[in-house]
Amino acid sequence: MLSLDLIARLFVAVALLWAGVSKLLSRDSSFLAPYGVPARWRGAALAALTGIELATGVLLLAGVGAASIAAAVLGAVFVAALASVRARGVRRLRCGCFGAKERSTDLLLGRAVLFTGVAAFGAFADVEVGRPSSDAIVFAALVVLGLAVLALAALLLALYRQVGVLTMRLGPGVALELAEEGPPVGDVAPELDGLNRVGEELIAFFSADCHLCRAIAPGVRAFEREGMPVRTVYEHEEPSVFERWSVPGTPFLVHVVDGFVAASAAPPMRPRNDLLVIPEARRVESARAAPSKSASGRRMFHPC
pLDDT (0 to 100) of residue 297: 37
d(CA 268, CA 83): 33
Number of domains comprising the chain: 2
Residue 296 shares a structural domain with residue 189: yes
- Does residue 283 lie in a domain region? yes
Residue 113 shares a structural domain with residue 53: yes
For 207-253, how does the pLDDT look when each residue is reduced to its tens digit (9 = 90+)?
A: 988 888 888 888 888 888 888 899 999 998 999 999 999 898 888 99
d(CA 178, CA 220): 19
- Does residue 55 lie in a domain region? yes
Residue 120 shares a structural domain with residue 223: no
Q: How many CB atoms lie within 10 A of CB 100?
A: 15
Residue 18 shares a structural domain with residue 107: yes
- Does residue 21 lie in a domain region? yes
- Does residue 114 lie in a domain region? yes
Residue 203 shares a structural domain with residue 276: yes
- Does residue 217 lie in a domain region? yes
Contact 256/197 with Cβ under 8 angstroms? yes
pLDDT (0 to 100) of residue 127: 62
The mean pLDDT of the chain is: 78
d(CA 132, CA 9): 20
User: 101, 129, 157 — which closes off a domain?
Assistant: 129
Reported as a pLDDT band with limits 50, 70 and 90, residue 59 is: very high
- Does residue 160 lie in a domain region? no
**CATH number where 202 lies:** 3.40.30.10
pLDDT (0 to 100) of residue 241: 93
pLDDT (0 to 100) of residue 108: 87
Does the pLDDT value for residue 5 go beyond 80?
Answer: no
- Does residue 236 lie in a domain region? yes
Residue 99 shares a structural domain with residue 180: no
Contact 184/263 with Cβ under 8 angstroms? no
Residue 7 shares a structural domain with residue 123: yes
Contact 255/200 with Cβ under 8 angstroms? yes
- Does residue 250 lie in a domain region? yes
Contacts 24+ apart (CB under 8 A), 108-116: 108/82, 109/79, 109/82, 109/83, 112/75, 112/78, 112/79, 112/82, 113/79, 115/12, 115/15, 115/75, 115/78, 116/72, 116/75, 116/76, 116/78, 116/79
Domain that holds residue 105: 2-129
128 forms bridges with which residues in the sheet? Answer: 3
